[in-house]
Amino acid sequence: GDEVVLVGRSNVGKSTLMRELTGHSFDTGGKPGVTRQPNHYDWAGQDFMFTDLPGFGFMSGVDEQQREQIKTDVVRYVEDNADDILAGVLVVDGKAVIDIIDRHRENGDIPHDVEMFHFLQDVGVDPIVAVNKMDKVDDRDERLNDLCDRLGLFPPWQQYRETICPITAKTGSIGPLEEALGQRFREAKREEL
Ligand code: GDP
């Protein structure tokens, strides 16, 4: 498989990241509640494909039922295409993700990001977590260790450089993600031989 899917809550910076990865600028979603279709792009002249899936979770002006439908669509897309998907990039907001996860847990809900991480593992699409907006994070190591903990990975986060990628999409600082993806591509190529 040579497809990379980007999933994540709305407003985490998926469109911004997509633009950095592909060099294409595109409409960032339009009206709330309108389910975005998967968008396909090529990467750096290679025949890989990036698919930006609709954002899930809270969006103002979008009701519960529509939110559930969007999540169902995302899950179905990944399930249907799992054989072709090389990597599932779960994009999170590094500044907000821990608070959001913990708030959901306190309310007895399963946090979407944690659910999505395990879902990707379950369907055999090894997740890469793009921890975005790191420019807003002061206590970088602590925050990334907390994220590992919430995802069921034992800290320290530095053990998981192929999974946990701190980035700032807005300024184009996405090196750790490009390295993790590059690694994944090389592994896939080797398996093809
Ligand atoms: P999407 O809904 O996930 O596609 O998110 P967007 O790409 O539309 O970004 C949502 C907001 O986050 C916008 O205001 C972006 O400028 C901002 N944003 C995206 N990436 C970063 C980042 O790395 N740092 C900061 N501080 N803001 C960012």
pLDDT at 35: 46
Measure 192 CA to ligand 1 centroid, in angstroms: 36
Ligand 1 nearest atom to the CA of residue 16, by list position? 7
Residue 152 sits in a domain whose CATH number is 3.40.50.300
What confidence tens digit (pLDDT) does each residue in 135-189 have? 999 999 999 999 999 999 999 999 999 999 999 999 999 999 999 998 988 888 8
Tokens of 128: 């890469």
Decide the pairing of beta strands 85-93 and 127-132. Answer: parallel
**Protein residue with least CA distance to atom 24, ligand 1:** 133
Residue spans of beta strands (DSSP E) within 81-193: 85-93, 127-132, 164-166
Q: Which residue do the tokens 């954002």 mark? A: 55
Structural domain that includes position 10: 3-192
Complex ipTM > 0.95: yes
pLDDT of 34 above 70? no
Tokens of 153: 């990975």
**Count of structural domains within the chain:** 1
**Protein residue with least CA distance to atom 27, ligand 1:** 133
Tokens of 36: 């975005």
- Residue to probe by mutation, ligand 1, list 31, 134, 170, most atoms within 8 Å of CB: 170
* Radius of gyration of the CA atoms of the chain, in A: 16
What confidence tens digit (pLDDT) does each residue in 51-72 have? 888 777 766 777 888 888 888 8
Torsion of CA 94, 98, 100, 106, to 10 degrees: 180
